[in-house]
Structure 1
Amino acid sequence: MKQTVVLYAVPAMGHLVPMVELAKLFVLHDFSVIVVLMHTPVKHPSVDPFVARVSSAYPSISFHQLPPAASLPDTPVPRFLDLVLPNNPQLLYFLEARSRTSDVRAVVLDFFCTGALAVTANLRLPSYFFFASCAAVLAAFLYLPTLYATADIDLKALGDSPLHFPGLPPVPASDMPRNMIDRDEDYFKRMIRVLESLPNADGILVNSFESLEAEAVRVLRDGACIPGRRMPPVYCIGPLIADGSRDVGGEKMEKAECASWLDEQPRGSVVFLCFGSMGMFSAEQLKEIAAGLERSGQRFLWVVRAPRSESQGPQGWGLQSEPDLEALFPEGFLERTKQRGFLAKSWAPQVEVLNHEAVGGGS
């Protein structure tokens, strides 16, 4: 029986894709991997097709969707932090059952899932956090609770004034995530509790390598980012980069639909529009982008996300519903541009798209 590692992922593509890359790394070291997806009231439209492609290409990686939780937050757009604790009973049940039939060696948690540490502690399973960004960002995040505790800082009033973190260049206050600048907001306080919980794991896996970020890795391992506390081991396991040209076990993943569309376009003819998981626009702004694309006559591949709602704030860090393209765009836009444009709902495989010879530029 192969040893098993369980990965617990936030069901958002920006978190799930790097978690699957981590799963492939475990497979290379002869582990079997189970990726557990928490139950959410809204599912990202790209999750199911992505899971199907990975499951087909990598038999040693299996997926388990937790059943509906007993109670979920009654909010229009739940955020990830709202969903961890309601899923804990189902996660506990799954891990208990799996531990009786498999040799579960460890659980790796998405860094948003600090609330799940109670489950792994209950079962005495070694627990690690996976931080899909670089070591410098992890160092800054870990130091934030200390920064706010030792100074009465109002980041909104600091503008471009520098913030100082151990081992890192100064960071302008205006560059900090918007959710992390208002210390009076409930979500800010909850994120601080998440960051304070990260060192409680048995280790932290970071998507970097030591020769790239030697100083950031040093201050992480020295504990300079959490003065007075125990710092768990930090393991540099990167770079993990999704690459459709590589494979594990001789099989390649099926092409995404947008990549097949690109195969039919002339070399260097397509503009790629993809604004990232935080790049959300109002309905009016989406109509303006559509109008500009239509007037340009340019071939385009556009990753369209549902418009930002008031409940999400400027940066949601929450779940997204699938965009209704017919309702979003000017009447007749889809029909008039269908010969030269492709609209991907919410997500596209960026590395594969940017490597495609049909793509001539992007934003």
Structure 2
Amino acid sequence: MKKAQLVFIPAPIIGHFVSAVELAKLLVDRDERLSITVLVMETSLSPNIARSYIDSVISAWSRIRFVHMPDVELDPSLSGRFFISLIEAQKSHVKEEVSKLVLESESGSDSPRLAGFVLDMFFASIIDSVNEFGVPSYIFFTSAASFLGLTFHIQALHDEQKVDPTEFRNSDVELVMPCLASPFPVKLSPSSLFSKEWLPFFFRMIRRLREAKGIMVNTFYELESHALNSFSDGNFPPVYPVGPILNLNSHENHTHHKDIMQWLDHQPSSSVVYLCFGSMGSFSVEQVKEIACGLEQSGHRFLWSLRQPPPDGKMEAPSDYVNPEEVLPEGFLDRTSEIGKIIGWAPQVDILDHPSIGGFVSHCGWNSTLESIWFDVPMATWPMFAEQQFNAFLMVVEFGLAIEIKMNYRKAYNMDGCEIVRAEEIEKGIRALMEIDREKLKEISEKSRKALMKDGSSYTCSARLIQDIIDNMA
């Protein structure tokens, strides 16, 4: 029996990293021939990445191991060049670690042989460096299949028709693309597409994706059949929908977590609106006050993950407020003490799984979007960074599964020039969210679970992928 070793190289962003490791768990659970080594890169943007999470995986999955790469110092102001610089700094270390694995595999007949690499979409440029090991490279695309289609389409427009995407900024142009059933307002594309600095990195990354042996996408066929069918014309590498890949066992039992869950236990079924804006989500004091007023005016029960922005000029994750009362309207906590709870960090999976949650105001990160579908919790969109505006469009327009508070909101890291969404608009969105018809969402939620079950669409796809990996071993 052939034993195969895969090397995973995830990006050091918590959402990307955890998704990649959850995929690794799924693959080794599916086939006892597979072992996986995960190369862990830490940077100033992600110190001590998910240590407790890694420890929990090590204790339960003997065929997954982690190799911590040497620290490299990078300038966070590199922006679009950040991942390029990280890869350049780590290339020699990656080769060194993989060479050790190859030597290990040759030392005994029972050792698994190197069968391929699974690279984060941001790390596609490393394909050149790992090609010398003579095994294929696969990409793990942590966003929607529709977004993969958008990236390919924009890159083709640029390379073949000499279209400059930066000209689309703030325009009303709509693109008709094979990956979407609805015309797409191009101004909802990621900010990187409108940036002269980011674009060269973006296009190099997408061209590299086309060279991969296959692309695994964190989605499922029943959600994105239109987009997935658009890749079947032979112009793309094979695309494998293997999701939804979610970390559903992230339960933490510290006191703060228990306090949140106990509060939820005392609320009526489907009565609470949950507000959370991701690991990088925070607002100015003025915007915080507008959200508070909108919540209070809506009259709905709420659980709000309120985070403090990092210091000016620092690209760091937000932190919890020591005293949130400082940024909230005067008397707000007293007036809403019976119906609301302000928290910092949120155990999101456990919250969305709780029967008292009736709606989710979200930044539309793809992991959060899939969690809202999985747990059948309606979503109101308030995107901020990256491809979140596109995800908001998917959920509201393409899938008809969410309502809009905002679709084109963009958050600057320094808060300067950010649009202020007023309390009236927030109140209106929350009221609509809590009255939404959940029938369509319930149906797709059930399909998301069936996709991963035996003979489900994603189950079948991952089996095909594993067979491809084994067949490619000489």
Tell me the TM-score range normalised by the shorter chain: 0.7 to 0.9
Moved more, 295-304 or 40-49: 295-304
Q: Deviation of residue 197 (structure 1)?
A: 1.3
**Partner amino acid for 1:325?**
Y
**Partner amino acid for 2:224?**
E
**1:118 alignment partner in structure 2:** 128
Q: Deviation of residue 128 (structure 1)?
A: 0.5
1:115 and 1:86 map into 2 onto residues whose CA distance is 13
Q: Deviation of residue 131 (structure 1)?
A: 0.8
**2:309 alignment partner in structure 1:** 306
- What is the aligned counterpart of 2:200 among 189, 198, 203? 189
120 and 355 in structure 1: CA distance in 2 versus 1, 3 angstrom threshold: same
297 and 187 in structure 1: CA distance in 2 versus 1, 3 angstrom threshold: same
Q: Any conservation in 2 of the 1:12–1:47 contact (CA below 8 Å)?
A: no
2:221 and 2:96 map into 1 onto residues whose CA distance is 38
Q: Deviation of residue 239 (structure 1)?
A: 2.8
211 and 323 in structure 1: CA distance in 2 versus 1, 3 angstrom threshold: closer
1:58 and 1:304 map into 2 onto residues whose CA distance is 34
Q: Any conservation in 2 of the 1:282–1:307 contact (CA below 8 Å)?
A: no
Matches within 5 A, 1:307-326: 307=310, 309=312, 320-321=316-317, 323=319, 325-326=321-322
Structure 1: give runs of 5+ residues left out of the alignment. Answer: 225-230, 245-252, 312-318
**1:242 alignment partner in structure 2:** 247
Q: Any conservation in 2 of the 1:53–1:254 contact (CA below 8 Å)?
A: no
Classify the secondary structure of the residue corresponding to 2:122: coil
Q: Deviation of residue 211 (structure 1)?
A: 4.7
Classify the secondary structure of the residue corresponding to 2:59: helix
Classify the secondary structure of the residue corresponding to 1:108: strand
- What is the aligned counterpart of 1:220 among 231, 246, 252? 231
Instruction: Give yes or no for the alignment of 1:27 onto 2:28.
Output: yes
Moved more, 278-287 or 98-107: 278-287
Instruction: Give yes or no for the alignment of 1:255 onto 2:272.
Output: no
164 and 126 in structure 1: CA distance in 2 versus 1, 3 angstrom threshold: same
Q: Deviation of residue 352 (structure 1)?
A: 2.7
Q: Give the superposed CA RMSD.
A: 3.6
Instruction: Give yes or no for the alignment of 1:175 onto 2:172.
Output: no
281 and 88 in structure 1: CA distance in 2 versus 1, 3 angstrom threshold: farther
Q: Any conservation in 1 of the 2:251–2:347 contact (CA below 8 Å)?
A: no
Q: Any conservation in 2 of the 1:262–1:356 contact (CA below 8 Å)?
A: no
Matches within 5 A, 1:271-282: 271-276=273-278, 279-282=281-284
Q: Any conservation in 1 of the 2:115–2:136 contact (CA below 8 Å)?
A: yes
Q: Any conservation in 1 of the 2:274–2:359 contact (CA below 8 Å)?
A: yes
354 and 158 in structure 1: CA distance in 2 versus 1, 3 angstrom threshold: same
**Partner amino acid for 2:326?**
P
Matches within 5 A, 1:126-137: 126-137=136-147
**Partner amino acid for 1:53?**
S
Q: Per-residue CA shift, 1:43-68, capped at 9, x if unaligned? A: 26762233233333434332222111
Q: Any conservation in 1 of the 2:308–2:321 contact (CA below 8 Å)?
A: no
Q: TM-score, normalised by structure 2?
A: 0.60
Identity %: 29
Residues paired across the two proteins, number: 333
Classify the secondary structure of the residue corresponding to 1:130: strand
**Partner amino acid for 1:7?**
F
Moved more, 271-280 or 103-112: 271-280
**1:61 alignment partner in structure 2:** 64
Q: Any conservation in 1 of the 2:10–2:17 contact (CA below 8 Å)?
A: yes
Matches within 5 A, 1:1-363: 2-28=3-29, 29-30=31-32, 31-43=34-46, 47-69=50-72, 72-73=74-75, 75=77, 79-102=82-105, 103-149=113-159, 150=161, 151-153=163-165, 154-159=167-172, 161-169=173-181, 170-182=183-195, 185-224=196-235, 231-244=236-249, 254-255=251-252, 257=254, 259-265=257-263, 266-268=266-268, 271-276=273-278, 279-282=281-284, 285-286=287-288, 300-302=303-305, 304=307, 306-307=309-310, 309=312, 320-321=316-317, 323=319, 325-326=321-322, 330=326, 340-344=341-345, 348-363=346-361
133 and 331 in structure 1: CA distance in 2 versus 1, 3 angstrom threshold: closer
114 and 167 in structure 1: CA distance in 2 versus 1, 3 angstrom threshold: closer
**1:315 alignment partner in structure 2:** none
**Partner amino acid for 1:171?**
F
More helix by share: 2
1:242 and 1:171 map into 2 onto residues whose CA distance is 31
- Greater length-normalized contact order (CA 8 Å, ≥ 6 residues apart): 1
Q: Deviation of residue 193 (structure 1)?
A: 1.4
Q: Any conservation in 1 of the 2:308–2:320 contact (CA below 8 Å)?
A: no
6 and 260 in structure 1: CA distance in 2 versus 1, 3 angstrom threshold: farther
Classify the secondary structure of the residue corresponding to 1:86: helix
